[in-house]
Amino acid sequence: MIEIGNLKADFQLVSTRVVKFELETKKEESDEIEVELKCDYDIEEIEENNEIYIGTVQFKAAFEGKKKNKKLFKIHIVYEGCFAGKKEKLGLEDFKNMLELNGIITLTHLTRSYIMSCTALAGFNPPLRLPLINVHKLREMKHKTM
């Protein structure tokens, strides 16, 4: 095995938290539920000191389940991550790019796990799954709207 010190990236996850989580359900079982998913992200802040950049990014997802025109459930989550990057290895633009790509990818995986756990505990059978997201396309679409 290879020592982790030789593999550690210059961009690291420092902490995470769920900023907001809402789950509303209606009592009705159906196999014919259409699920609509919308997602977005925001870079909340970037700070720096002599050695590192620190950046906070939020991934947002909203699910809505419908049968015909009747809403059956609604889920909204905002998952936040704080990331650090070594200034000796990364420029500010590189760090921003890593926040938008690596940071969002990390948060989508954490969000997926959280949503699956919460919906399983709420009685969803099967639990709701956040699909894999093309973060490059999400980023491209986000930049077009800015």
Quickly state the pLDDT bin for 5 (edges 50, 70, 90).
confident
Compute the distance between CA of residue 6 and CA of residue 40 in angstroms, rounded to an integer: 34
Q: What average pLDDT does the segment 47-75 reach? A: 94
The 70-86 sheet, strands edge to edge: 11-25, 70-86, 52-67, 34-48
pLDDT tens, residue by residue, 76-131: 999 999 999 999 999 999 999 999 999 999 999 999 999 999 999 998 888 999 99
Q: How confident is the model at residue 75 (pLDDT cuts 50, 70, 90)?
A: very high
**Residue 99 contacts residue 42 (beta carbons within 8 Å):** no
Q: So what's the pLDDT on residue 50?
A: 92
Domains of the chain (ranges, CATH numbers): 8-145 (3.10.420.10)
- Report the DSSP beta bridge partners of residue 64: 36, 74
Whole-angstrom Cα distance, residue 68 to residue 48?
50
